[in-house]
Amino acid sequence: MTSEIASKTQVGPGFVRTMAAYNAEMNRRLYAAAARLSDAERRAPRGAFWDSIHGTLCHILWGDQIWMSRFDNWTPPQVKQRDSAGMIADFAELSGLRVDADARISAWAGRVDDAWLAQDLVWFSQSAQKEFRSSRAFTVTHFFNHQTHHRGQAHALITAAGEKTGDTDLFLVV
């Protein structure tokens, strides 16, 4: 099924650049809202998959780092996925790493072309303990979907904690 879906995926450089811009802006908004909360509020267990706002934000960065290690030769995260929620203890450090990652993702997106997207990506997933092969266009779609999915969770947690991020719809943001 994956190869069938991948062959139908219409992903080009414009999509990659749009999603990189969208994700950078949404991360900026999310982190600004999270910064208005106390450290205790960010770390409070909230029943989310990655437990807390802080843990969810760490996991999003972990996911970006692991995928960008595959796409653009970044250094992969030093912790396994199951430990990603505690990857960065200090919120200020996490915020700085987020800003840096978004700038680097945007720079990478500016270099992506149709030829690169048309190639396959082969990688070994430590989490699944197996090798995968899929089109780069498909894995890039997953990369941005992963960010959006978990950022939606963080958004819900931040909203429940009483903060606002503003509009989140793609057409209103980019």
pTM above 0.75, yes or no: yes
Cα 21–chain centre separation: 12
Domains of the chain: 11-173 (1.20.120.450)
147 Cβ neighbours under 8 A, 6+ residues apart: 23, 60, 63, 64
Cα-only R_g, the chain: 16
> Dihedral (C-alpha) 73, 76, 81, 85: value to the nearest 10 degrees?
-120
In tens digits, the chain (174 residues) has pLDDT values of 454 554 555 789 999 999 999 999 999 999 999 999 999 999 999 988 899 999 999 999 999 999 999 999 999 999 999 999 999 999 999 999 999 999 999 999 999 999 999 999 999 998 899 999 999 999 999 999 999 999 999 999 999 999 998 888 888 888
| pLDDT at 127 (0 to 100) | 86
Cα–Cα distance, 3 to 132 (Å, whole number) = 11
